[in-house]
Each structure stands twice: as structure tokens, then as C-alpha cells.
A and B are shown apart, each in its own frame.
Chain A
Amino acid sequence: MTLTELREKLRPPCPALDIHVHPLGPKRVDSVDEDARQILAAADRAGVEKMCIFLLHPASGEGQLPEPTMDQCREANDYNLQMRERSPDRFIPFCYVNPMYPQESVAEIDRCVEGEQMCGIKLWIARRATDPGLDPILQRSVELGIPVLQHAWDKTTGNLSGEPFPQDVAHLAKRHPEAKIIMAHLNGCGLRGVEHVIDCPNITVDTGGGDPEAGMVDTAVNALGGKRVVFASDLPVRLLGQCLGKTLGANIPEQFVRDILWNNAARLLPEWAGVKPI
């Protein structure tokens, strides 16, 4: 097999929508233009058409700035909007907020979603998902009909103090049964994490982050059904192609591949995201 043939073989059979991408940010690139250019080039090489993007603030990184101020959230969201300006057909921004500040978070959601047509909400590790500070945020997401992407993990080495476990996200989903919640990091949540969210029909799991362990997407599809798993990478922390492999290399019916790569995310996003099922 030549390299060209191999690259062709590895391309996804349909366009892919990556629900979990971070811009590179000012720590790694000199400008938003450069940021957008590099990400789009990587996406083109891998076969990813559209990306939901959210910077967690220029100063954030692995465990850094887990509790941003609302000014920092606003700064991050402004960056996300600038990224969208560079390529409005490909970047779908989400609004990053901090449940330590519920009312200000709601105000920021209004600014970003109602005002600027962002398409979802991003929650990270300021507070575990059991925290009541998340409730006004989730209520607003329901009112606006947009998904909430909540980071989660089950770390043998120990979660950070505000880092949700899968069972926390299950708790959140049951508190807000009408919300559309995406639990991030299937491989980080693992076999036990999947079990925690089986009986939460409003939780979809994203495949971003963690290693491309064999059988995980298969497990998630068997447990949750083919409509409750969405493709994600966690770029630039992880490689696009590697993460596509979790789905394209799984032993699942072909119809589910299309749904995971595109349709399941398309159904979660609001109508103004302009993403139609294929």
C-alpha cells in the first residue's frame, strides 16, 4: 500500500464534526489568524469539516487556571468569537463560564449566545457538576435549546478538587432532565463512567481526550446506543486522526459511524449553528 493509498483509506467516509476543540491561544501562536490557519490545516488533513471551539482562557493549561474570573471567561469567549470570524463556516464557538459565579455566567451566556449566536456552553473544572452553581447555567441552556459540554474524568491518580466524575454528570443530568448534556472524555471516564450514565438519556458522551484504547467506542455504543456518542478530539491536546480512529477503527455498524462523526452532534446543536444531518 502506498502512502497516498493509506491516507485515502484513513479518511473518514463522511464529513466529521468535532465537538471538542480548543484554539491554540496566545501562548502558542502570535495571532488569531495563525491560530485559525493551523487548526484548519490540521482539520483539512484529517477530514474534519466543522469544529466546536472554546478557549479556556489564554493562561489555562493542564490544571492551570481551574477557577477563572468572569473577566477571564469573557476574554476567552471574545477570542472564540474572533476565531469564528476567521472561518464562520467551520468554527462553532461555545461559551465558557464558571459556576462559581452563576448569575454572571448566565449574563455571559446571554451575551454570547443570544447576542453573538454561540452554539453551546462549556464547563470545565471550577466546580464539580453536583454543585448548585451549575443549576442556573443549565436552566439557561434549556431555555436557549443549546447543549452543555461538561468535562469529566475518573483518574486513578486523583481528580482535581473541582473536577467532575462521571457520576457527578449523571447527577446533573437528573437534576436537569431537559438539558442536553455532553459528557466529555469517554476514555477518561472509562468502563465505569459509561455505566454511570447509561440511565441518563439526556447525556451524550464525546470521544475526545484520553488514549485510543481498543473497544471503548464499541462499549459506549453497546451501552448507550448509537445516538449518544459524538466524535471529539480535544485538539490540540490530542491528534485529530488518532481520535477519529476511535470511531473509524471500532467494530460498530456503519450507520453509527456517520451518526457519531456528524449527525448526533448536528441534532444537539441549535438551528442557528446551520448544521444539517447527513
Chain B
Amino acid sequence: MIIDLNAFTGHWPSHPVTGDLNSVRASLHEYGVDRICVSPLEAAWCRNPHRFNEALYRTAGTFPDVYPVPVLDPTVATWKKELERATRELRVKLVRLLPAYSPYALEAADELLEALVAENLAVIIQTRLEDPRRQHQLAQVPDIPAAEIANTAERHPALTVIIGGARTGEIRGLKDRLLASPNLYADVSQCDGLDAIKVLVEEGLTEKLLFGSHAPLFIPYSALSRVVTDLADEDAAAILGDNAERIITW
């Protein structure tokens, strides 16, 4: 089973993508991806990101292999109502936070994160959506340090927390904290470098890594190659889907 825990659908203002859900699914099915967790891209730039969740539920609802990952923003006054709405969707298993885009410090999300525990939902907290060197001049969004997400996981030990989009070096630097926190994981959608995932596996992090494609912003071939090319089948299978099967209540 291959589970993509970090994909998107929709439009991105600074880079043209083929982001309709049909196309995103097709691009990932080509490489055998069985389950796709998607968030709406437009949510990043909307002052109330919740506005894009409803459309996501509607389109995702027609595909049994698509799991909507709504974006929740604790600084929008009515987030509780939005969370309640999310819990009514059968295939919502995790929610996404985009703190860099709102923007807010992760401490502001503490109440929301505790509410997720009560609803048995996991959270993926995104470090970045695009390389800062490639952002639009007038729309620069700084990265959220992966260490701050690790802090968040430590504050909420009962919550499954996934660091979204961290680079190889960041994940490697958090090795001890990842191993010490049973609830903390990292997706590999933006890892790069020679033997990038192999290096992390050699550091003992196999069980902590999750497959993400960052489609449609990134090319799915690259996402799969990143994981399978350098690893033994067992390690590749763990990262491609076994870990996600284990940590999320599907």
C-alpha cells in the first residue's frame, strides 16, 4: 500500500500547476499510489482558509481513495465550528496547519491541537510550500523551523504530529527528538540530496518517515524515486505506506 500523506489540489498563484483533483490522482496512480491525502492549495493565500475546505469535501467525496485534509487556522474566530464540520466527514483523518501563511506562532494553536486529540485526528504542520529563493518577490513567506513543530509535538504528547515538507538536513538534525517523541513524524516530500532518505534510514529513522509527494507542485516521479531508488524493499515499504497505516486511524 502506498499512502501519500502530503498532496494538494487547486491553483498556485506563482506557478502554473495542473491541480484539479482528477489530474492529481491520475499522476499519482501512475506510480501505484493507493491513498492520497489532499489539502486545498488556495487556502494558503485566503484570509479565511476554511473557505476552501467545503469544496474539497465535495470533490474528494466522489473518490474513495482521496482523503481530504482540511486546513484549520486557530486565528479564525470560528475554527471550532470548522473542526466540528471536519469531524462530520468520514474520510478526514488528519488536518493541516499552515502557520507561515496565516501567520501565527504555533503556541496559538494549542487549544485547537488539544481539540484534535479529542477527535482522534492527526495533524500535519507544513514548514514550507515553496523554496524561499523561488517565491514571488512580493509574496515572500519564511519557513517554519522544523524544530518548532517538534516543540509542538512535545507540548501535545497525545497528538500525532507530522512535520510537513522538511529538508533532509532538518530531519537529520531532529533525529534524537524524533526518536524520543513517539508522536512525532516527518514526511519526506521535500527531502533532496545524494542518498537523502538512505542517510535518514541509516540514522535509524525508518519508522518515523512518511511518504508525501507535494503534488501537484512537485513531480510525482521524483517523489517515488526519492524513496525507492536507494532503499531496501522493506525500508521503502515502511516509508511508502506501512508507517502511515500504523500511525493514522484509517
Contacts and interface: CB of A to CB of B under 8 A. Distances in A.
A152 B209 CA distance: 46
Most buried by B among A195, A196, A198: A195
Q: Which of A191, A194, A196 has the most CB of B within 10 A?
A: A191
- Interface range on chain A: under 10, 10 to 19, 20 to 34, or 35 or more? 10 to 19
Contacts of B51: 191
Nearest to A196: B77
A175 interface: no
Q: Decide if the interface of chain A is mainly helix, strand, loop or mixed.
A: helix
A260 B51 CA distance: 23
A233 interface: no
Interface string B67-81: 000000001111000
Nearest to A197: B77
Contacts of A170: 77
A191 B78 contact: no
Contacts of B46: 191
Interface residues of B, number: 8
A105 interface: no
A192 interface: yes
A190 B45 CA distance: 13
Contacts of A154: 47
A194 B76 CA distance: 10
Interface string A132-167: 000000000000000000000010000000000001
B48 interface: yes
Most central of A154, A192, A198 by chain B CB within 10 Å: A192
B98 to A, nearest CB: 14
A268 to B, nearest CB: 23
B48 A167 contact: no
Contacts of A194: 48
B176 to A, nearest CB: 39
A198 B48 contact: no
B77 A191 contact: no
Contact of B47 (A167, A192, A198): A192
Interface in B29-56: 46-48, 51
A232 to B, nearest CB: 21
16 contacts: A167-B77, A170-B77, A190-B47, A191-B46, A191-B47, A191-B48, A191-B51, A192-B47, A192-B75, A192-B77, A194-B48, A195-B48, A195-B76, A195-B77, A195-B78, A198-B78
Which 3 pairs of residues, A with B, have the shortest CB-CB distance? Answer: A191-B48, A195-B77, A196-B77
Interface of B: 46-48, 51, 75-78
Interface of A: 154, 167, 170, 190-192, 194-196, 198
